[in-house]
Amino acid sequence: DTGVSQNPRHKITKRGQNVTFRCDPISEHNRLYWYRQTLGQGPEFLTYFQNEAQLEKSRLLSDRFSAERPKGSFSTLEIQRTEQGDSAMYLCASSPGAQDEQYFGPGTRLTVT
Amino acid sequence: QKEVEQDPGPLSVPEGAIVSLNCTYSNSAFQYFMWYRQYSRKGPELLMYTYSSGNKEDGRFTAQVDKSSKYISLFIRDSQPSDSATYLCAMSGGATNKLIFGTGTLLAVQP
């Protein structure tokens, strides 16, 4: 299967701990997006990369959040000092280019206790 | 007011019915319009992708965009129980192409 993959699929952590999620986009897709989805809501944009460059960050992305895409391949999203309000589904999507359709991965469900 | 409005449902229909799902939006800069299907605890799956106004058909699915009214629709013909899911509309415009989603409509097709 050559779709977008995300790991882990589910993460349970205690408040105050750091967590890191990984996204592997579809091969040769230049754009990679991170979204967050809470129960009963549509996904909300967090940030995106054009190759290895992070070009935009949402105001939802506080200083505790950092994302990287070294070498323009996979991406990681780290949350430091997690809070209960960070509990959500974190979704990654990739697209071939700027105005192309975005394909989503299965998501990482984060539960902060 | 949200940029994209979508009735959350739930919407319950009998098998074989025609389903109509709708979204309205306020940002006239949106040019690309999408419908995603999302099963419980899964990632969104792209169903339809359209540019500007008009209709697009793919199998049992038809997407309509009316930019003058800022209104988009998804029609599902001959609905099946396997179509039971949350349907998300999404739209974008500009260099970022970040997607702005509706809240999703929960659809249940009863056998």
Tens-place pLDDT, residues A64-81: 999 999 988 999 999 999
Task: Give percent above pLDDT 70 in chain A.
Answer: 99
Q: Which has the closest alpha carbon to B109: B7, B3, B35, B15?
A: B15
Give chain B positions within 8 Å (CB) of A102.
Answer: 34, 46, 97, 99
Q: Do the beta carbons of residue B25 and residue B5 sit within 8 Å?
A: yes
Residue A1 pLDDT grade (very low, low, confident, very high; cuts 50, 70, 90): low
Judging by DSSP bridges, how do beta strands B85-92 and B32-38 pair with one another?
antiparallel
Quick one: which H or E segment has residue A16?
none
Tens-place pLDDT, residues B24-79: 999 999 999 999 999 998 999 999 999 888 899 999 999 999 999 999 999 999 99
Of A31, A91, A98, the CB nearest to B43: A91
Q: What pLDDT score does B95 carry?
A: 76
Give the nearest chain A residue to B8 (CA atoms). Answer: A40
Question: Are the Cβ atoms of B99 and A102 closer than 8 angstroms?
Answer: yes
CA A14, distance to chain mean position in Å, is 20
Give chain B positions within 8 Å (CB) of A56.
Answer: 96, 98
Single-letter amino acid code for the residue at B52: S
Q: What pLDDT score does A54 carry?
A: 93
Distance from CA of A81 to the nearest CA of B (A): 25
Q: How far is CA A35 from CA A61, B8, B91, in A?
A: 10, 20, 14
Q: How far is CA B66 from CA A55, B30, B53, B69, in A?
A: 31, 12, 5, 6
Residue A100 pLDDT grade (very low, low, confident, very high; cuts 50, 70, 90): confident
Of residues B107 and A60, more confidence is placed in B107
Of A40, A48, A105, the CB nearest to B98: A48
Quick one: which H or E segment has residue B21?
strand B19-25
Distance from CA of A62 to the nearest CA of B (A): 18
Q: How far is CA A70 from CA A48, A61, A67, A77, A112, in A?
A: 13, 19, 10, 12, 27
Give chain B positions within 8 Å (CB) of A53.
Answer: none
Tens-place pLDDT, residues A29-57: 999 999 999 999 999 999 999 999 999 99
Residue B82 pLDDT greater than 60, yes or no: yes
Residue-wise over B27-39: b if at least 16 C-beta within 10 A, else e? eeebbbbbbbbbe
